[in-house]
Amino acid sequence: MAVPEVNSARPRRIGVFGGTFDPPHVGHLVTAVNVGHLLELDLVLLVVAGSPWQKEGTRAITPAADRLAMVAAAVEGVARLEVSSIEVDRPGPSYTVDTLDALAAVYPGAEFYTVMGADAAALLPTWERYNEVLRRTRVVVVDRPGAPSDLPPLTDWIHVQVPHLDVSSTDLRARVVDGRPLDFLVPDAVRRVIVERGLYRNASGRLTPGGGES
Ligand code: ATP
Ligand code: MG
């Protein structure tokens, strides 16, 4: 089978997969790897939201430095996948449209693919300047258990089939609180960061599930 050439020196086709990643899990990773493979992307950036404006006030968000450390651990040694701190380094709310601007300056001439699960896609009209997101990128959507399968007729979605994994960060945070295992739901390296940093032990972090932009 021909393996598509991965050009990470000067990536031309770049997936932008934003999330709170609180914590990152196999649902995120299986999505990123398979979208990268099927669309022959040179690079898939897991963009950690600095200030997930649609989640703030609904629950305590783990500090960005911890979420970056977990995503870095998750993608270490995985071809095509990289963590991006571009939103964490920028003050203010994490708007995808601003991220796309910043990435276009870093990767001149590249084509961008904005990747999201169906739950996030259903909320795209609530995103800041979402029309600009649609204009500047192709939007790639993957199914997610429990998420609506009919999407708003906003755009020519690229629908990519990935294994359906009913895993969420919300459930993982609750598992830590309850002392239930995280094994095989997050990479071992991520589990170690959670344990070493003592993350999610406090129940205050699970008031309501989040959603929306990042
Ligand atoms: P939370 O429960 O805290 O909202 P989450 O598991 O939904 O966390 P997010 O960081 O909110 O993770 O999601 C980032 C992106 O990953 C979104 O586009 C979301 O749709 C997608 N995603 C998350 N989990 C899955 C999954 N199991 N399958 C497919 N896509 C997923
Ligand atoms: Mg979510």
How far is it, in rounded angstroms, from Cα 18 to Cα 103? 13
State the DSSP H helix or E strand holding residue 189, giving kind and residue range, or none if neither.
Answer: helix 188-197
Cβ(126)–Cβ(54) below 8 Å: yes
Cβ(15)–Cβ(44) below 8 Å: yes
Regarding the beta carbon of 27 and ligand 1, being less than 6 Å apart is answered yes
How far is it, in rounded angstroms, from Cα 33 to Cα 18? 14
Regarding the beta carbon of 116 and ligand 1, being less than 6 Å apart is answered yes
Residues of the chain with pLDDT under 50: 1-4, 205-211
pLDDT of residue 208: 37
How far is it, in rounded angstroms, from Cα 116 to Cα 147? 12
- Closest ligand relative to 16 C-alpha: 1
How far is it, in rounded angstroms, from Cα 151 to Cα 141? 9
pLDDT of residue 59: 81
Regarding the beta carbon of 20 and ligand 1, being less than 6 Å apart is answered yes
pTM for this entry: 0.91
Which domains occur in the chain, in start order? 13-145+154-169 (3.40.50.620)
| pLDDT tens column, 89-117 | 998 888 999 999 999 999 999 999 999 99
pLDDT of residue 45: 98
Question: Which residue minimizes the CA distance to atom 15 of ligand 1?
Answer: 19
Regarding the beta carbon of 103 and ligand 1, being less than 6 Å apart is answered no
**The pair of three-digit structure tokens given for residue 114, joined into one six-digit string:** 């904005």
Query: From the CA of 40, how far away is ligand 1's center (Å)?
Result: 22
pLDDT of residue 207: 38
- Closest ligand relative to 168 C-alpha: 1
Regarding the beta carbon of 119 and ligand 1, being less than 6 Å apart is answered yes
Specify burial of residue 78 (Cβ count, 10 A radius: 0-12, 13-18, 19+): middle
Query: From the CA of 19, how far away is ligand 1's center (Å)?
Result: 7
Question: Which residue minimizes the CA distance to atom 25 of ligand 1?
Answer: 27
pLDDT of residue 214: 60
Query: From the CA of 42, how far away is ligand 1's center (Å)?
Result: 22
